Amino acid sequence: MGDISQQLAEQVKQAAETGTALAITGGGSKPFLGRGLRGQPLSLAEHTGIVSYEPVELVMTARAGTRLADIDAVLAENNQRLAFEPPRFGDTDTIGGTLAANLSGPGRPWQGSVRDHVLGLRLINGRGEHLKFGGQVMKNVAGYDASRLQAGALGTLGVITEVSLKVLPLPAMEQTLVQPMAQQQAIDTMNQLAGQPKPLSAACWYDGHLYLRLSGAATAVEATAKRWVADSGGEMNVLEDGEAFWRDLRDQRLSFFSGSEPLWRFSVNPTAALEELGERTLIDWGGAQRWSRQDESLSVMAERAARAGGQVSLFCHGDRSGEVMHPQPSPLRTIQKRLKAAFDPNGIFNPGHLYSWL
Amino acid sequence: MSVANSHETDTPRPIDGRTDFPPVYRASLADRFRRFLSPDSVITDDETIRPYECDGLSMYCEMPQMVLLPETVEQVQQIMRICHAEEVPVVARGAGTGLSAGAMPHAGGIVLSLARFNRILSIDPQARSARLQPGVRNLAISEAAARHGLYYGPDPSSQIACTIGGNVAENSGGVHCLKYGLTVHNLLSVEVVTAEGERVTIGSDGYDSCGMDLLALMTGSEGLLGIVTEVQVKLLPKPEVAQVVMAGFDTVQAAGAAVAGIIGHGIIPGGLEMMDGFAIQAAEDFAHAGYPTDAAALLLCEVDGTEEEVHDHIHQAESLFRALGATSVRTSGSEEERALLWKGRKSAFPAVGRISPDYYCMDGTIPRSQLAHVLTEMQRLSDHYGLRVANVFHAGDGNLHPLILFDANVEGEFERTEAFGGDILNLCVAVGGSITGEHGVGMEKIRQMPNQFGNLEVSQFHAIKQAFDTLGILNPGKGVPTLRQCQEYRAIGPLRQPDVAQAGEAHHG
């Protein structure tokens, strides 16, 4: 546990002077993301520790290299959790890496994403300046939201050193329901149920089955489960070890995710049919996130995503030398290049990691 | 009263906000706009411009060169191309209900009103989303969604009048933020016309986009990064039931402990509001909601969800409040009673307005644990300045709205009010909070920004702005102070201690 931010800032300053590319790493749990890292490693693995945690304020501040497992353990003591359910791709996932990659679990449509829970952060920019944005309060609209901007930037704007997050109470009860169902019917059902004021907290279609999770007060969860099971005419059942299913889905440990065929992530309109993705599809986020395994070009996939009102990325495997993220329209490309220059004038942070042109 | 723009010498760009603009030739510029805008869309006479001279913070006003009221996105693009080419400042405006002078015009520029973009483009009940033009009123979204059993979450108190475009610009909140989030949490995409006049969509129908989160950056950027021309929002299913528990307490500390107790108990209320004794009295006199006027602090705790959940949580909240020393506890038994209990809170501003010629609403946020300290300190400042203050507080998310009572007709009283307000905001920063939770910095809080941010952060903000607006024509002078201003304001120092005798004299004079 320690604060090595000064040392990190020094390393950045030196790299800026010599024009050396830096490859920012945390726990090294997600080396498959993006277009690969090149440059001198800048590791945050030793920059760890929970700086402050006020359970009653629902706020935790942790250094970026702090492992999710350590955060979980401290939160659990107070019956709290990170409600965006960050995925674990190993034992070493860090909070900084989770934010940089903008990764959130099955509850995302209901509980929000990692960026939704970010209240503030500290960041070393490309000049080696250690900056502080946002804060530790729920509402703060002073200055631009440079904190949430980092979500999905894959470290191209700076070195996140500290993150302040909103934390939430653990739900009193969770229950999982499962029902055999065809894909299109599952999409319809997920969206229809999500429109009801019931404690739905996750909805997934996998391997010919619809999975639903209910979270909240015990009475509300039980009453809803009972009603939905009855409405299904006996087709729907309570899944005993539901928690394990959602954990395996979150951490990509279901058999769907094994193997080395390209894994595509679609973020689309939750009601989109997206029939062209075929049966090798896993639907999460109540329809808004689709995982697909197939050998296809980014441009074809991007067209499909656009028709479904969203975007696609080649999450892992496949050709990672070309672009792996949804193409950006020209004005946004210009703005992002300029933003990159605004934070990192010498272009030293994770060059080419997110896009070849960034 | 007008606030002078510091147009004089300043640190040059690119690391700073722009303050120098070429002179505007009003007649010839207006002619260029009239080539593609209808005659009634180009307003140049002072009398018609006058209503645009300020937003909801009327103490700050300025007359622009002209007001434009385009009707199509293409027209907005053309306006921006001309303003970009001629380096004319552009201040976008929705309903003008903002409370930080964010829509105060620039003397050398144009006001770009989006009032005519007032159509709900589509509602998709299945996907639970709505596409809106930026001039659609906040409440109109929920009204239109109601027939599908849906509503739009953020509900700023100006929701009858304020527009969704303005909500995006300010990242507006409301009383339900702790559970349902701010504007930033309820957006899917925005369409923006850039400073150069390009039209681009940020975000999508899906929840996450590739690359850096520009949607979050745009939200709350106060019209400094682009002109929002379309907004797609998420809609939520209307909760089955909502009930409110009202609890009175002898001390603010006890009420603060009750707030901590509820959250510590694992309940996230839909709304959790606190009022101090002065605000309780004013609201009760106005709304006759049956508030306990002898209480020093009042909590309104609303729980929403399924019938079973609300039943459980209301019961737990009642017991908790009693155990934590509530002097009175009352739970709404009907929708009418719930509306009545809220009426007092919702009318707190006009209620205070009735007992004072003028009031000034502040908007700081603090960690909840600092509440008692902040209120004590605020009382000290109140005595110090000789100005009364009533407090309403979004207790769930730590957002304070102190209302300072003053009389603008008393010489120097507004200046003293501003100084008092500035001290409150600096106090919020000192305890780890922020100078603004939902009203924005605008022109109003420029002076307090240097107390919350250092020069490095301020410079980074200017660099962000430049990435979107290379010439600095969008809402110049707002949101982020120049480095020179930072230096000046810091020299005055946080928590200024005014001469008490002088303050008292002005008050009685």
A294 within some domain: no
Residue of B320, B397, B435, B460 to mutate, testing the A interface (most A Cβ within 10 Å of its Cβ)? B460
Q: What is the rounded distance in angstroms from the CA atom of residue B443 to the CA atom of residue B3?
A: 9
A70 and A118, same domain (yes or no):
yes
Average pLDDT of chain B? 91
Contact (Cβ atoms closer than 8 angstroms) between residue A33 and residue A354: no
For residue A189, being part of any structural domain is answered with yes
Same domain membership, residue A155 and residue A216: no
* Beta-carbon separation of A329 and B200 below 8 A: yes
Interface of A with B in 296-315 (CB under 8 A): 308-311, 313
The total of other beta-carbon atoms located within 10 Å of residue B107's CB is 17
DSSP string of B135-177? Answer: TSBHHHHHHHHGGGTEE-S---TTTTT-BHHHHHHHT---TTH
Query: In degrees, to the nearest 5, what angle opens at C-alpha A73 toward C-alphas A3 and A26?
Result: 40
Instruction: Report the alpha-carbon distance of residue B286 to residue B280 in Å, rounded.
Output: 10
Please indicate, yes or no, if residue A83 is contained in any of the structural domains: yes
Does residue A320 belong to any structural domain of this protein?
A: no
Q: Is residue A275 part of a domain?
A: no
CB atoms within 10 A of CB A226: 12
Alpha helices in B133-287 (DSSP H): 138-145, 164-170, 177-180, 214-218, 252-264, 277-287
Q: How large is the ipTM?
A: 0.98
The residue out of A130, A148, A169 marking a domain boundary is A169
B500 has a pLDDT exceeding 60: no
Among residues 34-53 of chain A, which lie with CB inside 8 Å of chain B? Answer: none
Helix ranges restricted to H, B171-242:
177-180, 214-218
Residue to substitute from B179, B212, B215, interface A, most A β-carbons within 10 A:
B212
- Nearest CA to A62 out of A76, A47, A73 is that of A47
> How far apart are alpha carbons A136 and A224 in whole angstroms?
36
Chain A, chain B: beta-carbon pairs less than 8 Å apart: 289
Q: For B325-350, how does the pLDDT look when each residue is reduced to its tens digit (9 = 90+)? A: 999 999 999 999 999 999 999 888 88
The reply to whether A65 and A161 lie within a common domain is yes
Task: Looking at the structure, tell me whether residues A236 and A160 fall in a common domain.
Answer: no
| CATH number of the CATH domain containing A158 | 3.30.465.10
Provide the CATH number for the domain around residue A213. Answer: 3.30.70
Read out DSSP for B85-132?
A: HHT--EEEESSS--SSSTTPPPTTSEEEE-TT---EEEEETTTTEEEE
Quick check: A331 and B194 CB within 8 A?
A: yes
Higher-pLDDT residue of A267 and B498 is A267
- Per-residue pLDDT at B392: 92
Contact A195 B437 (CB under 8 A): no
- A53 and A139 together in one domain: yes
Q: Which residues of B touch A197 (CB under 8 A)?
A: 149, 237-240, 305-306
For the segment B150-177, the average pLDDT, to the nearest whole number, is 94
**Hey, are the CB atoms on B126 and A271 less than 8 Å from each other?**
yes
Spell out the per-residue pLDDT of chain A, length 358, in tens. Answer: 699 999 999 999 999 999 999 999 999 999 999 999 999 999 999 999 999 999 999 999 999 999 999 999 999 999 999 999 999 999 999 999 999 999 999 999 999 999 999 999 999 999 999 999 999 999 999 999 999 999 999 999 999 999 999 999 999 999 999 999 999 999 999 999 999 999 999 999 999 999 999 999 999 999 999 999 999 999 999 999 999 999 999 999 999 999 999 999 999 999 999 999 988 999 999 999 999 999 999 999 999 999 999 999 999 999 999 999 999 999 999 999 999 999 999 999 999 999 999 9
Within-domain flag for A187: yes
Cα distance between the two ends of chain A: 33
**Which residue in the set A138, A143, A288 is minimally distant from B177, CB to CB?**
A138
Using one digit for the tens of pLDDT, what is the confidence trace for B258-272? 998 998 888 999 999
Residues A43 and A149 reside in one and the same domain:
yes
Q: Which of B366, B429, B434, B468 to mutate to test the interface with A (most CBs of A within 10 A)?
A: B434
Q: Is the dihedral angle over the CA atoms B348, B351, B355, B361 positive or is it negative?
A: positive
HSE, CB side, 13 Å, CA atoms: give it for residue A346: 16
Say whether residue A288 is in contact with chain B using an 8 A CB cutoff.
Answer: yes
Q: How far apart are CA A254 and CA B220, in angstroms?
A: 39
Q: Please, which pLDDT band fits residue B157 given cuts at 50, 70 and 90?
A: confident
Q: Distance between CA B364 and CA A148 in Å, rounded? A: 21
Least CB–CB distance from B457: residue in A133, A139, A216: A133
Q: Does any domain span residue A319?
A: no
Spatial distance between the Cα atoms of A348 and A39, rounded to a whole number of angstroms = 8
User: Are the C-beta atoms of residues B222 and B442 closer than 8 Å to each other?
Assistant: yes
Q: Is A199 in a helix, a strand, or coil? A: coil
Rg (CA), chain A: 21
A121: helix, coil or strand?
strand
**What percent of chain B clears pLDDT 70, i.e. is strictly above it?**
94
Specify the amino acid at residue B255.
Answer: A
Strand B129-132 vs strand B150-151: parallel, antiparallel, or unpaired?
A: unpaired
Q: Of the candidates A182, A216, A251, which is a domain's last residue? A: A251
- Whose structure tokens read 């409405």? A231
CB B163 within 8 A of CB B172: no
Q: How far is it, in rounded angstroms, from Cα A93 to Cα A65? A: 9
Residue B284 burial (CB count, 10 A): 18
Bridge-partner residues for A180, per DSSP?
A209
Tell me, yes or no, whether A235 and A197 share the same domain: yes
Q: How many domains does chain A have?
A: 2
Instruction: Give whole-number Cα distances, B286 to B336, B345, B352, in Å.
Output: 17, 10, 9
| Measured distance CA(A228)–CA(A286) in Å, rounded | 16
Residues A163 and A188 in one domain: no
Q: Which amino acid is at B476?
A: P
Is pLDDT at B506 greater than 50 in this prediction?
no
Q: How confident is the model at residue B369 (pLDDT cuts 50, 70, 90)?
A: confident
* Displacement of CA B156 from its chain's centroid (Å): 8
Contact A268 B204 (CB under 8 A): yes
- Is pLDDT above 90 for B174? no
pTM score of the predicted model: 0.95
Per-residue 3-state assignment (H helix, E strand, C coil) for B427-463: HHHHCCCECCCCCCCCCCCCCCHHHHCCHHHHHHHHH
Within 8 A by CB and 6+ apart from B216, the residues are A115, A145, A148, A149, A151, B184
- pLDDT tens digit sequence for B30-82: 999 999 999 999 999 999 999 999 999 999 999 999 999 999 999 999 999 99
pLDDT over 50 at B499, yes or no: no
Q: Are residues A100 and A46 in the same domain?
A: yes
DSSP code per residue over B379-426? HHHHHHHT--EEEEEEGGGTEEEEEEEE-TTSTTHHHHHHHHHHHHHH
> Which residue intervals of A118-171 are DSSP H helices?
none
Indicate the SS3 state at residue A162. strand
One domain for residues A13 and A159: yes
Q: Which residue from A219, A311, A331 is facing B309, i.e. has the nearest CB?
A: A219
Would the CB atoms of B220 and A144 count as touching at under 8 Å?
yes
Indicate the helix (H) or strand (E) that contains A339: helix A330-343
- Residue written as tokens 């709404």? B332
| Tokens found for residue B44 | 């140049």
In order of A193, A195, A234, A302, the CA distances from A231 in angstroms are: 12, 16, 8, 38
The pLDDT score that the predictor gives to residue B195 is: 98
Q: How far is CA B484 from the centre of its chain?
A: 26
Q: How many residues appear in chain A? A: 358
Domains, chain B, in order of start with CATH, read 3-113 (3.30.43.10), 120-237 (3.30.465.10), 241-351 (3.30.70.2190), 356-492 (3.30.70.2740)
A79 phi, psi to nearest 5 deg: 60, 35
User: Is residue B208 exposed (0-12), middle (13-18) or buried (19+ Cβ within 10 Å)?
Assistant: buried
Contact call for residues A163 and A134 (beta carbons, < 8 A): no
Domain boundary among the residues A125, A150, A169 is at A169
Which CB contacts under 8 angstroms, 24+ apart, belong to B486-489? B486/B449, B486/B450, B486/B455, B486/B458, B487/B450, B489/B446, B489/B447, B489/B448, B489/B449, B489/B450, B489/B451
A261 domain-assigned: no
Instruction: Report the amino acid identity of residue B95.
Output: A
End-to-end, the C-alpha distance of chain B in Å comes to 20
- B4 vs B62: CA distance, rounded Å: 9
Say how far apart CA B288 and CA A199 lie, in whole Å. Answer: 36
Residues B278-289: tens digit of each pLDDT = 999 999 999 999
The per-residue pLDDT for B503 is: 34
Per the listing, tokens 């603008």 go with B408
Contact flag A219-B436 (C-beta cutoff 8 Å): no
**Out of A265-269, B372-376, B495-499, least confident range:** B495-499
Neighbours of A76 (CB within 10 A): 11
Q: Which residues make Cβ contacts (< 8 Å) with residue B376, sequence separation at least 6?
A: none
Q: What is the pLDDT of residue B504?
A: 33
Q: Tell me which residue range forms the domain holding A225.
A: 173-251
Instruction: Indicate if A153 and A213 belong to the same structural domain.
Output: no
Closest chain B residue to A79, measured at CA: B266
Position B346 scores a pLDDT of 84
Contact A335 B480 (CB under 8 A): no
Q: Are residues A63 and A49 in the same domain?
A: yes
DSSP state of A2: B
Contact A139 B397 (CB under 8 A): yes
CB B433 within 8 A of CB B398: yes
pLDDT tops 50 at residue B496: no
